[in-house]
């Protein structure tokens, strides 16, 4: 995922809950620390599958936003 592209083109990048969720899931997949609250939130999820779908949605929204500029 080209996060520079996403950051430049995703609407409201710095205040978007989907971007935050993607970051949490990415940290979980990469074995980094996440809060206990976040662990509970995603405990029953197929994290890799949800992350893949979420990143696709984020990329498409950034691409669509760029095409409107």
The structure tokens listed for 49 are: 């599958």
pTM: 0.87
Q: 10 Å Cβ neighbour count for 59? A: 16
**pLDDT tens readout for residues 3-59:** 999 999 999 999 999 999 999 999 999 999 999 999 999 999 999 999 999 999 999
Q: Nearest Cα to 69, choosing from 4, 8, 7, 2?
A: 8
């Amino acid at each position: 995922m080209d996060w520079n592209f996403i950051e430049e083109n995703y609407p409201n990048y710095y205040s978007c809950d989907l971007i935050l969720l993607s970051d949490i899931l990415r940290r979980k997949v990469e074995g980094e620390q996440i809060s206990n609250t976040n662990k509970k939130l995603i405990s029953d999820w197929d994290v890799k599958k949800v992350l893949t779908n979420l990143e696709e949605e984020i990329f498409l929204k950034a691409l669509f936003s760029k095409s409107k500029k």
